[in-house]
Structure 1
Amino acid sequence: MEGSLDAPTRHVIPWRDEAWYDEAALDDELRRVFDICHGCRRCFNLCDSFPILFDAIDESPNEEVADLSAGQLKAVVDACTLCDMCFMTKCPYVPPHQFDLDFPHLMLRYRAVENRKGQTSLADRELARMDRNGKLGSALSGAANWATRVGNPVTRPLMQAALGIDSRAHLPPFEATPLTNQAPAIIPAPNPDAPGFGRKVVLYAGCHDNFNDGTPGRAAMQVLAHNGVQVRIEHPDCCGMPKFENGNLAHVADAATRISAFFAPLVAEGWDIVPLTTSCALMLKFEWPLLEPENDDVARLSKATSDVSEYIVRLAREVGLAPVASLPATIGVHFACHARAQNMGPKAMEMLRLIPEAKPVLTERCSGHGGKWGIFEQNFDRAIKIGKPTARAVAKAKPDIVVSECPLAGPHLRQVMEASGTVPPERIGHPIEVLARAYEL
C-alpha cells in the first residue's frame, strides 16, 4: 500500500459545492487523513502541524485520532502555512494513490469553512487586502515605515495589542513610488543583436514587488532587456495568495477571473507571463486552474506563465544568454517552498551556475515565515524555531552572498540569524539580482 508509481495529481477544489462545507464530513475527513499521517509520520520535521498532531495522539487516552478534540484538530490546522511541502516532497499517499491524501488542501478546506462562518480574524482579513495596504503604504511611506519599524516603542506594542502582530517581527517597508510607476524610466530598449531579441515578457509584479521592494523587478527588467527581450511590467491586482491562506476562495476566484482576462490579449499576442514572486507564480500556474477549471483565460495564462529563474534558464537553453562576467563568490541559495511547490526543480541554482566562477550552494528547507503566518504573536517564536536549521544550513557554506526566491523569507532569515548569534548579510535578495550584478547592470 506504499506510494503510487504515478506522478502526483491534484483534484479541482470544489469550493462552490455546498457539501464541501459540511462540518461533519470535514471532521470525518480530518480524522481519516490524520490517522494515515499518524501511521506514517514522515512529515515530522517539516513544520509544527505534524509534531502538534503526533504529540496530541501520543498523549491521548488510547493513542488514537478518535480521541482528539475539535480544539486539537484546529491546532493542527492553525500551524499549517500552506507551504505544500508535505504534498510535494514527503507524502507517499497523494493522488492517484487510493488513500487520496492532500494535507494542504484539507487545511484549506477547514479555513474555507471558518471563513464562511466569519471566523477569520480581523488581522488576517485586513492584512490580506494587499492592494489597498500597498497603495496606502506607498502614499504614506515615510509615516508607514516609521510606524512598522522593529523597535518603534510607540506603534509596535500597539500593533501587537490590537492586531496580534508580534512587535519583534520584521514588516516589509514601503517604496514611495510603486514599481509599475518607475518602469517606463528604467526599461532599456532591447538590443537587436542579443540572443533573446524577438521574445516578449510581461513581468507580473506581485504586491511585495510593486509596493515594498522593487529591486528584483528592476533587476529582472534589466537582465531580460540586456538579452534582447522586450519587457513590460504590470500589476493588475493581487494574485490572492493571502486570501487563499484565509480560505476566502470566492475572492481568489474573482481575482483569477479578472487578472487572467487582463492578461488574455497579451497571451494571445505571444507575450510570456513571468511573475516576480514564487507565490504569485504558484497561484497562476497551479492554484487558479484548480479553482476555475472551466475558465479558458485561466488555463491559457497557466500555460504561458514561468517563474523568473525558470524563464532565464529556458532562455539560456533555447537561444543562449549574452556573455556573463565572472563572479567568484559562494552564493547561499535558499530554495523557497513556493518555488519547490512548482515542481520545476531548483531553477535558481541552474541560473546562478550560468555565472562563471560562481559557486551556488542550495538549502532546501522552509524559512518558517509562511506568508503573513509568521508575523503573528502566537506564531513568531515558532517561525524562528523552524527557520533556525535553515539559517544554519545556509551559513555552513560561509557564503559571500545569500539569496532566496521568496521576498519574505530573506528578511525573516536575517532575523533568525540574528536570534542565533550569527551576523547576517546586509541583504538577502532574489537570485536575479546576482545575475544583474554579474552583468554590471
Structure 2
Amino acid sequence: MREGSLEAPTRHPIDWENPDFYDEAKLEAELTRVFDICHGCRRCFNLCDSFPILFDLIDESPTGEIDGLDPHKDYKPVVDACTLCDMCFMTKCPYVPPHEWALDVPHLMLRARAVEHRKGETRLADAELAKTDRNGKLATFVSPLANWATDADNALTRTLMEKTVGIDREAWLPPFADTPLDRRDDLDRIAADAAAPAAGRKAALYATCFANWNMPGPGEAAVKVLKANGVETRIVYPGCCGMPKLENGDLAAVAEQARSVAAAFAPLIDEGFDIVAVTPSCALMLKFEWPLILPDDPLVKALAGATFDITEYVVDIAKKEGLAPGMQPLGGDIAIHLPCHSRAQNMGQKGAEMLRLIPEAKVGVVERCSGHGGKWGMFKANFATALKIGKPAGRAMLKTNAAFMVSECPLAGPHLKQVMEREGGEGVPQQVPHPIELIAKAYGL
C-alpha cells in the first residue's frame, strides 16, 4: 500500500443520480472508512473545524479509535463544520484519487448533506438564503430599506434576525445594489479601445449573483480594465452559479442551474467569447463542480473550457498581448489574501501575479482560510468559529503593514476586516476590496 500518491489529484464525477448515493447505511460505512483514515493521518488538523472536531471525538471516545464513536450522533458535527473549501483535497491529503484509497472529504461531506437535504433536514434559513436571485431581485427594488435592516449597527433588526433565523447580529452582511450590474447602461456604453493590445478578444463578464445584486465594484472595475485593454466586453448574468445550494446538498437544483446558465452562454462561446467570472467561487463552480455533477453535458463541458477567473484572464492578456500602458504606482505595498476557492482552481497565485503588473508594486501573499465559508460563517452557531479560523490570516495581513489589503473573495475581505478589528492595533484598512479594483485604480479608472 502506498503511503501517498505522487500523481496529480483527480476527482471522480459526483454520482448524485444513483440511488446508492442516498443510501444511509452505505453513506455511514463510507464516512467510517474515511474518518478512520483521517484519524490515522491527521495532516488536516489545522484547516477547518471539521478535523479537530473529529479527532477530539475519537480521542475522547472509550476506545480512542473510530469504533468508539456513535455514527448517528458523532458524525453530524463533523459534516456541519465543513465549509467545502476544498483545501484538504487540494493541499493536504496524500490519499486523494488516483490513490487507491480515493479520499475526497469535501465531496463526501457534500454527499452527507445531500442525504440530509433529501430527507427535508436543510434548515429553513439556509434554504432561503440560497435563493440568491429571488432575494436580490426583491432587495435591490427596496435597497435603502434592505440595507438599513441588515446593517450590523442596527441593533433592533439584527437582534430580531439573530433570534428568528439565526444570523449572528455582529456578522457582516453584504449590502444590496441600487442598480444590478447587468442593468448598468453606463458600463455598456464604454467603448473598448481598438488600438489597445488585446483588441480582438471578446469577453462575457459573468456578473455572478454577488456582483450583480450586492457589490458591483469588482464587476465595474473588471469592465473598465478589460475595455481599456481593447477587450470587447459584455456584462452577462443568466443566473446564480448555485454554490449556496451546493452548500445545502441540493444537487438537483445545482444541476438545473448549470444546464440553464450553460445554455445561455453557449451562443456567446460559439461567437468566440471567453467567459470571465469576477467571483472565485463562481469560477470554481463553472470550471470544476458543474462538470463533475453533469459530466456528460456538452454545454457544461464547453462552458468549463471557456471560463476564466478575472485575475487569471488579466494575467493571460499580460502574457500573450501585454497590458495597455498607463498604469501608475499606487504609492504603497499591497497585501493580497488568496481565498480557498481561488487556490482550489489550481491556477497558481494569479491575483498576486496580476497585482505585480502595477508599476513598483510590492505584493505580499497570505494563503490562509478566512474562515467565512460562504453563508456558513454568517450564522450565530458558526460566527465565532469563523473568526477563530480567520485569525491567522487576519494577523498575517496586519503584519504586512501594507497600504492596500485585498482579497479575491468578496465575502472573505469584509470578514477578514472584522477579524483584524478584533485583533486591535493600527493598520486595519477601511476596505478589503477585490484586486481588480486596484488595477482599475492604477489605470486611473
Q: TM-score, normalised by structure 2?
A: 0.98
Paired position in structure 1 for 2:202:
200
List runs of 5+ in structure 1 lacking aligned partners. Answer: none
**Structure 1 Cα separation of the partners of residues 233 and 168 of structure 2:** 39
Distance 2:329 2:130 in 1: 42
Shift of 1:422: 3.8
Letter of the 1:19 counterpart: D
Letter in structure 2 aligned against 1:355: I
1:373 matched residue in structure 2: 376
Q: How does 1:117-136 map to 2 (within 5 A)?
A: 117-136=119-138
Cα deviations by residue, 1:320-359 (Å, 9 ceiling, x for unpaired):
0011222332111000100000000110011011111111
Q: Counterparts in 2 of 1:22-421, with a 5 A limit?
A: 22-69=23-70, 70-185=72-187, 187-323=189-325, 324-421=327-424
Task: Tell me if structure 2 keeps the 8 A contact 1:203–1:234.
Answer: yes
| Contact 1:186/1:218 (8 A) holds in 2 | no
**Partners of 2:74 and 2:411 in 1: how far apart?**
29
Q: For residue 52 of structure 2, give the secondary structure of its aligned residue in structure 1.
A: helix
The residue identity in structure 2 corresponding to 1:322 is A
Matched residue of 2:365: which SS?
strand
Contact 1:367 1:386 in 2 (8 A): yes
Question: Is the 2:202–2:274 Cα contact (8 Å) retained in structure 1?
Answer: yes
How many angstroms does 1:68 deviate by?
1.1
- Alignment check: 8 A CA contact 1:150 1:156 kept: yes
Determine the C-alpha separation between the residues in 1 that align with 2:335 and 2:441.
16
In the TM superposition, residue 154 of structure 1 has moved relative to its aligned partner by: 1.4
Would you say the 8 A contact 1:146–1:152 is kept in 2?
A: yes
How many angstroms apart in 2 are the aligned matches of 1:326 and 1:379? 40
| Matched-pair contact (CA < 8 Å) for 1:183–1:233 | no
Residue type of the alignment partner of 1:250: A
Contact 1:368 1:385 in 2 (8 A): yes
Summarize deviations over 1:281-340 as a string: whole Å, max 9, x none.
Answer: 000000000011111000000000000000000111011001122233211100010000
Rounded to whole Å, the distance in 2 between the matches of 1:72 and 1:306 is 40
Aligned equivalents of 1:220 and 1:362: distance in 2? 21
Q: Give CA-to-partner distance per residue, 1:370-401, whole Å, 9 cap, x none.
A: 00000101100000111111000011110100
AA matched with 1:304: A
Contact kept, 8 Å, 1:204 with 1:274, in 2: the verdict is yes
What is the match of residue 440 of structure 2? 436
* Residue type of the alignment partner of 2:221: A
Paired residue total: 441
What's the offset of the Cα at 1:193?
A: 1.0
Q: Aligned with 1:362: secondary structure?
A: strand
Counterpart residue type for residue 359 of structure 2: P
- Whether the 8 Å CA contact 1:187–1:221 is kept in 2: the answer is no
| One-letter amino acid of the structure 1 residue matched with residue 405 of structure 2 | V
- The letter of the residue matching 2:435 is P
C-alpha distance in structure 2 between counterparts of 1:153 and 1:279, whole Å: 31
Q: Compute the TM-score of the two structures, normalised by the length of structure 1.
A: 0.99
Q: CA RMSD in A?
A: 0.9
> Aligned partners of 1:243 and 1:400: how far apart in 2?
37
Match of 2:21 in 1: 20
Letter of the 1:66 partner, please give it.
Answer: D
Q: Aligned to 2:296, what secondary structure does the other structure show?
A: coil
* Per-residue deviation, residues 90-137 of structure 1 (Å, max 9, x unmatched): 000000001100000000000000000000000000000000111111
- Aligned AA for 1:297? L
Deviations 1:61-93 (A, max 9, x none): 111112112221100000000000000010000
Tell me, in whole angstroms, the C-alpha distance in 2 between the residues paired with 1:115 and 1:5. Answer: 36
Give the distance between the partners of 1:168 and 1:28, measured in 2 at CA. Answer: 39
Secondary structure of the residue that 1:325 maps to in structure 2?
coil
Judging changes above 3 Å, is the alpha-carbon distance between structure 1 residues 183 and 391 closer, same or farther for their aligned structure 2 residues? farther
Partner-residue secondary structure (3-state), 2:374 = coil
Percent same amino acid among aligned pairs?
A: 61
* C-alpha distance in structure 2 between counterparts of 1:421 and 1:232, whole Å: 42
Shift of 1:157: 1.1
Task: Report the alpha carbon displacement of residue 210 of structure 1 after superposing the two structures with TM.
Answer: 0.4
Q: Any conservation in 1 of the 2:188–2:234 contact (CA below 8 Å)?
A: no
Q: Deviations over 1:211-266 (max 9, x none)?
A: 11101001000000000000000111100000000000000000000100000010
Q: Which amino acid aligns with 2:433?
A: G
Equivalent-residue separation in structure 2 for 1:235 and 1:178 (angstroms): 10
Q: Is the 8 A contact 2:204 2:276 kept in 1?
A: yes
